[in-house]
Structure 1
Amino acid sequence: MIIAHRGLGEPENSMLSFKRAVKRGFGIEFDVWRTADGELVAMHDPEIAINGERYSVKELTFGELKALAVSREHIVKIEELFRKFPDALFNADIKDAEAVEELGELIRNYEIEKVIVSTTEIEMLKALRARDKKLKLAFSIVRRSDVPKVPLLKRRFRIFALHVPIDGIFYVGFANFRFLLKWIRGMGMKVGLWSYEVDELKYVPLLADLGDYFISNRPLDVKNLLTRLKGDF
């Protein structure tokens, strides 16, 4: 499975980019932030920059955020995504601790089954699991120091998946990286692979057998690559 990181094409995180992704059969990934009036929005950054000024998403109401945006279509409510694409696969990367309760409520209210809620923070995992015992939680590895904690986190929070940056190859070596992915799967977790800076097309063929899904900046290219790989066997 391929999940389109921030949607497919420009402008990213817009309803148009999410529509393109779903139409092509991809899942969609987005970061979750909470506005001052309690609306959850799909935005990558905690601030919006307009004419050299920066405004915190958390300090603006949804209406104020829309008014400041270059295009109103660029600001999308999570609720709109759940309502418009009820059968899509979602990766909601929650960045705002104050959004935990509302996100859980939206998932329950819209009866969204195919949603993975991911985070880079252990305290966020704790808060998410405390709120909902059924959520499919994913922990995103961004620090080497978090790797030894994975077995405990798996047991304590019943983690569904680990999101692993392909860039880790350059820290531990290719053979050790493949061993790490096998170790994760051996604990009963899914592996979601993503790329920070490396060329994902270079490494996807070498890791395709160990990735359960790919969170991709280039979903069309990755799809074509994986299709060709299947044809070679």
Structure 2
Amino acid sequence: MRAGTEVNNESTLILGHRGFKGPLENTLPAFRRALLYADGVEFDVRVTGDGKLVAHHDEGFWSDGLFYRINGLSLRELRSIHPLGKLVPRVEDIFRTFRNSFFDADVKEPEAVEPLLKLVERFSVAGRVVFSSENPGIVKALLRECPDCRVGFSIVGYSSLVWIPRLKGLYSLHVPIDAVSYVGYRTFVTLLEALRKRGLRIYLWNYRMNELEWAPRLWRFADALILDNPVWVKKGFYGYGALFGGDTYDELGIR
């Protein structure tokens, strides 16, 4: 699938993790750069004190030695105090600017559910959005408020696993590549295959692993790769023929 189309379950989506992880993550410049190489972007959704939805990963930020919570500031105050200033985007700015792209909206707060669903309807992007959250309560709320939406559950530790059978109607599981360091490559692949046989899409994301090493090895077991640096897809993966060669690093003799 390329940007501008609906979800295609027969190919692997490439999404920029917060656009590009780094100093400008979760900003329009980061999303714009990511979309030169990716099908879409993943971004985090939080609510300001005056009810505006913004893309921001953490619940707050430091500025001039003081910590500020996103939900304690108006949008104007946030953009005045935040180190990135006006680069902190509203979610509606993302949908408006990149309306033909694919989105993974990672919902961080229960208060964001209803206004986010309204924005998705307003911009007519429901066919290109997967909603995800590591919070089972938020996932339940999304499934309840929009039964036809694509809703994913993010795995962040062993405690997440008990929720998988309890969350009926899931579209996808968002699994950290880092799990391979705990259970081993073969076991991890077996788990991914078992989950896909249950009808769940697998969205792989990265916390602290080497993407360039692991993403090519796991490519064919995922429906989407959420990458910190999607440039590597074009400059790294394609060079090894990962799309067609299967477990590329095994073929190169690297274990």
Q: Give secondary structure in 2 for the equivalent of 1:11.
A: coil
- Cα distance, 1:177–1:79 mapped onto 2, change above 3 Å: same
Structure 1 Cα separation of the partners of residues 114 and 185 of structure 2: 39
Structure 2 Cα separation of the partners of residues 72 and 208 of structure 1: 37
1:213 corresponds to: 224
Which of these residues, 47, 55, 61, is aligned with residue 68 of structure 2? 55
C-alpha distance after superposition, 1:183-219 (max 9, x if no partner): 1100111111111111121112221110111111111
1:164 corresponds to: 175
Q: Give secondary structure in 1 for the equivalent of 2:67.
A: strand
1:133 corresponds to: 147
1:72 corresponds to: 85
2:24 corresponds to: 11
How far the C-alpha of 1:148 sits from its partner, in A, is: 4.3
AA in 1 matched with 2:17: H
How far the C-alpha of 1:85 sits from its partner, in A, is: 1.1
How far the C-alpha of 1:232 sits from its partner, in A, is: 4.9
- 2:163 matched to 1:152? no
Aligned length: 230
User: Do the aligned residues in 2 keep the contact of 1:10 with 1:17 (CA within 8 Å)?
Assistant: no
Structure 1 Cα separation of the partners of residues 214 and 99 of structure 2: 32
Structure 2 Cα separation of the partners of residues 10 and 23 of structure 1: 18
How far the C-alpha of 1:117 sits from its partner, in A, is: 0.7
Structure 2 Cα separation of the partners of residues 212 and 224 of structure 1: 21
How far the C-alpha of 1:127 sits from its partner, in A, is: 1.0
User: Do the aligned residues in 2 keep the contact of 1:168 with 1:177 (CA within 8 Å)?
Assistant: yes
User: Unaligned stretches of 5+ in structure 2?
Assistant: 1-12, 247-255
| TM score, norm. by length of structure 1 | 0.92
- Cα distance, 1:75–1:38 mapped onto 2, change above 3 Å: same
User: Unaligned stretches of 5+ in structure 1?
Assistant: none
- 2:113 matched to 1:103? no
How far the C-alpha of 1:145 sits from its partner, in A, is: 3.1
1:118 corresponds to: 132
Alignment RMSD (CA, Å): 1.7
User: Do the aligned residues in 1 keep the contact of 2:34 with 2:231 (CA within 8 Å)?
Assistant: no
How far the C-alpha of 1:226 sits from its partner, in A, is: 2.9
